[in-house]
Copies of this chain bind each other. A is one copy, B any other.
Amino acid sequence: MSRIEAVRDEAQGNLADRLLLGLPAEAVLIDPDVTTSYANDMASFCPAGTPAVVVLPRTVEQVQHVMRTATELRVPVVPQGARTGLSGGANASEGCIVLSLTKMDRILEINPVDRIAVVEPGVVNATLSRAVEEHGLYYPPDPSSWEMCTIGGNIGTASGGLCCVKYGVTAEYVLGLEVVLADGRLMSTGRRTAKGVAGYDLTRLFVGSEGSLGIVVRAVLGLRPKPPEQLVLAAEFASAAAACDAVCRIMAGGHVPSLLELMDRTTVKAVNDMAHMGLPETTEALLLAAFDTPNPMPDLAAVGALCEAAGATQVVPADDATESELLLQGRRLSLPALEAVKGTTMIDDVCVPRSKLGAMLEGVERIAEKYGLTIGVCAHAGDGNTHPTVCFDAQDPDESRRARESFDEIMALGLELGGTITGEHGVGVLKREWLAREIGPVGVEMQRAVKQVFDPLGILNPGKLF
């Protein structure tokens, strides 16, 4: 053992010993085979370090102990949920404490009169969604990883999903938080009431902060009454431009679809190849629109007519909820299906004003051609939130380079069109150079200063965002 290794091992041993003063043995993992399995989330091209230790606290007090220890020893802390993120926001730093919140997974309260749920951060999105449904309630945010991802992770990245065009993103549903600060102190933010404006909105500051300001240990979430099951209409188009035109007509027409999703030909084919869904492959773009109102028929008919006016070659309403769900399954499989095309993907998350959706898709096609790459696009079209997905062979260095360059060029295009580099996936490691381009030097300076307030030692998820 070299001197450096010896010093490192001693530091690690010391760290683990200190952590064990406030955590049970089974909550402190130091076996390198185990800890390295916590190094990455699901993003490509994002470097990760090796954690010194992984902790799995079950109580607020244990999280406080972890943060006090980290502060005393000046050790970086990387909070993690289910590590389904797509920007490297949960990737380990070298020698860090990985703070996995997955064991804090209790639903503490569901209140149908106040329409709130109180949860710990490790509750899985789907678990909460199903639990509130039993009370006739609805927790809308539905990222595509909803069967695995945690509410804490959703809060960290302000996740979205298919629901957003009608119901908005996670941020809209976080009313109040309990947060363990970098030094281990506990702070409450927000409220459990429907409204409240007492002081600065620190709740929203924490939502989307990617674990860089504090550790969320409890959340009060707003709920809605469960709407009727949605009915989906599928429309095929001879060009992506025509489908985007339909989106603009639908939204300008005052409709409020419960989803409005677009899949391009590449995506449709990938989904069929993977799951034999029988989606129509002869079209350039497939648009899915749905309504979850008590009587969706007039809206569906009007939207069908708008699609035809925009040049749809075929408009097919689903017969019932089962057929609707099948179409949505297809949409939900888009990302894994595109991943199967060449083995690896880089998934962009550019959101543009929806009036620029057509220009965005046209530009992505141009970029794919320029770099000789397959780039499939699925999009939360009603929100202008596109996921251009670069398919490439990670074993091929030249293709990998082109993938990375095209990925960046897509973000540049998004900014040029008045959009943002990330609609719902977050900045993480993947887009940190791009954050500065989007928010400008004054924005970066003020954001860094805010970070400094909450994390003066820079131990909270360092190297993310900035």
Contact = CB atoms under 8 A, between A and B. Distances in A.
Interface in A424-456: 424-427, 431, 435, 438-440, 442-443, 446-447, 449-454
A202 interface: yes
Contact of A352 (B164, B172, B193): B193
A382 to B, nearest CB: 8
Nearest to A454: B446
B195 A439 contact: no
Nearest to A425: B197
Interface in A285-334: 293-295, 298
Interface in A189-206: 189, 191-202, 204-205
Nearest to A165: B194
A107 to B, nearest CB: 18
A256 interface: yes
A188 B453 CA distance: 21
Interface residues on A, range: 35 or more
A80 interface: no
Interface in A59-74: none
B113 A157 contact: no
B196 A423 contact: yes
A172 B194 CA distance: 13
B225 A256 contact: yes
A354 interface: yes
A256 B228 CA distance: 13
Contacts of A426: 197
A106 interface: no
A254 interface: yes
A114 B197 contact: no
Nearest to A111: B355
25 contacts: A113-B248, A113-B354, A114-B353, A115-B251, A157-B197, A165-B194, A169-B195, A169-B197, A171-B201, A187-B442, A192-B418, A194-B385, A196-B423, A197-B208, A198-B420, A198-B435, A199-B439, A199-B447, A200-B447, A202-B446, A205-B450, A446-B454, A450-B450, A450-B453, A453-B453
Given A294-B298, A450-B453, 11 more contacts: A114-B353, A114-B384, A158-B197, A194-B354, A194-B423, A196-B351, A198-B421, A199-B208, A200-B209, A225-B254, A450-B450
Closest 4 CB pairs of A and B: A225-B254, A204-B204, A194-B383, A196-B420
Interface of A: 111-116, 136, 157-158, 160, 164-165, 169, 171-172, 181, 185-189, 191-202, 204-205, 207-209, 213, 224-226, 248, 251-252, 254-256, 293-295, 298, 351-355, 380, 382-385, 418-427, 431, 435, 438-440, 442-443, 446-447, 449-454, 465
